[in-house]
Amino acid sequence: MGKVYLVGAGPGDPELLSLKAYRLIKEADVILVDNLVLGVKDLIPEDKKVIDTGKTAGAHKFSQEEINELMVHLASRYDKVVRLKGGDPFIFGRGGEEAAYLSEHGIEFEVVPGITSAIAVPSSFLIPLSYRGVSSSITFITGHEMEAKEESASINWNAIANLRGTLVILMGVGNLANNIEQLLKHGLRPDTPVAVIEKGFTPDARIVTGRADNIAGVARSEGVKPPAIIVIGDVVQMRERLNPNPNPNPSDNEDNE
């Protein structure tokens, strides 16, 4: 049996890929890629066997169960199987589930961490998730699993809304209005700054900003699409202080109330 490597590809910029991840891409016998590896795909040699297992909302080439089974099958045929995942495999990438499946089936595996877009994308737009005197805590949540009734949801909205730190929501564009509604209902300040950063580390990357009480409408009017990172908290305002360019980004909506 071969070995499976669950490799974090980082936020999409090839230069942010780890050296170990790059080496494994070059050495792999077969590579399974998802939709978020973006520019990293260009580093894959043309002679490599590549299987596209990417998922988008409502369009899955493979179910998660099929991906799990495929990794086991490939490990029976190849020495090195690389599962290339956007960001970090264990940050909302279902890498934990894949590792558990491989373990249960006796397949040797290794996890290669990557830079999560939850941190890298805000940094690229000069939003420090922590800042002395502004925010001393960071919370990451996923935004696409919150359509269940409130009483059965896994998120403690009261706790999240009153952390007084920075909240980062991944995969939350489609459910943005509902997520914000819950946060406001449970105590989030209506004037809390919010940034929605779309398509980070791509030529089409842009940021739209507003407040908790208007960001859903701003994002809708701007036509924001996934993938996007949502940052909620006073650290969003630090971008103005850190930005060396006095001319605002045309996509900014910081004055849109």
Q: Which residues are catalytic?
A: 34, 55, 171
The CA distance from 38 to 255, in Å, is: 32
164, with CB counted inside 10 A (0-12, 13-18, 19+), is exposed
DSSP string, 148-196: S-GGG-S--HHHHHT--SEEEEES-STTHHHHHHHHHHTT--TT-EEEE
Neighbouring C-beta atoms of residue 207, cutoff 10 Å? 26
Strand-pair category, 55-56 with 59-60: antiparallel
Per the rule left: phi > 0, alpha: psi between -120 and 50, beta: everything else, 197 is beta
The CA distance from 19 to 223, in Å, is: 37
